[in-house]
Structure 1
């Protein structure tokens, strides 16, 4: 019955008088626990207490007290649903972190950091949500003195990939693993180091890339559709960032402090 009270109000809405519709609108949109006495509800909605009683009876209740008893139970149920949704989201993030912990290879992270330290230029490829990660990667690592550029347009990826040399590193971010391997392949032919960050690695990636960094996947999780698709890639970025900062810490920390100070000025 708690689940249907809103539907009951909606079904009867066209049968209500104008004053009863004022009450209907209130109960349809309210989700707060307040003083639900007939006197207070009538005052809040500028109707009479008789209208409050009549409204309840039109919905099939003996009176307002029976109606408000069911309505308050509905609000309790809504609070429980909210709590469960919050818990599900937090548990999902926890699951993603656990996946990352099981997938991470410290030696691989060190190899990637070495590539970055030995590079003249680093290019981060990404489209859509992965493009947002590419921009974040650029903003964070350039503060540590890395010559890095984000490339989020496929036309520019094509042109950029043929301009690589052995001192270049290309990192492609694609959670689905689609459509970016071809650009890494061309960069590899030019001698560049190539890295793929993905949740769905393929045999082709391992052929083309020096490193395939596998991220956690949000697919199959209970509330995966409400989890930011960038989250797994951003976690890996933070890990790489931490190792990169630690390699030559004093110099990079000074650069970081200088850039942050200048930004604040």
Structure 2
């Protein structure tokens, strides 16, 4: 078996364990009349920003926590917080603060029993290996399998949202950057 086959096998194993009902719960919370904020550290943060970018393409008002142009989070907003372990202090603390201020939290983690997993109004469990050793074991470094699988999972959620909202590929393409 090639290394490529091994990696694809790992991703398929994780994706086979992602519960589509959890995606549907998150989908119900993400609405166009709400501002969406994303949060994550390191590579998980990059996956969150990729999700934010695609949400923008399909017509959402979306911001990444920590960027200089991000406004304050307010009651009624939605926060999508990503942490493989679900224990990353900076992520959990900000998600707790948001929730205390009336923000709806969607947690994305490998561990439903983690602090972040327990905090979510909806929790999406992506059981890929993390640097903490959670989830499906992997030949890949650190939390690579979790990050890869989160990317696919959040792209699937965007597909679900675009179908629900009747946003075509052409409409999404019209929002894509033209400054390239």
Structure 1-normalised TM-score? 0.56
User: 1:175-221: per-residue Cα shift (whole Å, max 9, x none)?
Assistant: 12122122111111111101110012335335532111110222452
> Any stretches of 5+ residues in structure 1 without a counterpart?
1-82
Aligned equivalent of 2:171: 255
The equivalent residue for 1:169 is: 78
Instruction: Give the secondary structure class of the aligned counterpart of 1:246.
Output: helix
Specify which structure has the higher proportion of helix: 1
Q: For 1:142 and 1:194, how far apart are their aligned partners in 2?
A: 19
Matched, 1:216 2:116: no
| Matching of residues 88-103 of structure 1 within 5 Å | 88-100=6-18
5+ long unaligned stretches in structure 2:
none
> Partner residue of 2:148?
231
Distance 1:185 1:119 in 2: 23
Residue 243 of structure 1 corresponds to 160
The answer to whether the 8 Å contact 1:119/1:168 transfers is no
Give yes or no for contact 2:47–2:151 (8 Å, CA) kept in 1: yes
Greater shift, 187-196 or 212-221, is seen at 212-221
> Residues of 2 paired with 1:143 and 1:171: CA distance?
17
CA distance in 2 between counterparts of 1:185 and 1:170 reads 11
- CA 1:93–1:200 in structure 2 vs 1: closer, same or farther (change >3 Å)? same
Answer yes or no: is 1:183 the counterpart of 2:99.
Answer: no
SS in 1 for 2:178: helix
Task: Give the equivalent residue in structure 2 for 1:149.
Answer: 63
Instruction: Answer with 1 or 2: which has the greater Rg.
Output: 1
Q: 1-side partners of 2:20 and 2:138: how far apart?
A: 27
Q: 2: distance between equivalents of 1:92 and 1:111?
A: 25
How many Å apart are 1:233 and its aligned residue?
0.8
1:222 Cα offset (Å): 4.6
Q: How does 1:6-45 map to 2 (within 5 A)?
A: none
Map 1:125-136 → 2, pairs under 5 A: 125-136=39-50
**Bigger RCO of structures 1 and 2 (CA < 8 A, at least 6 apart):** 2
Aligned-residue RMSD, C-alpha: 2.8
Secondary structure of 2:159's match? helix
SS of structure 2 residue aligned to 1:99: coil
Structure 1 residue 229: Cα displacement: 4.2
Partners of 2:14 and 2:157 lie apart in 1 by: 17
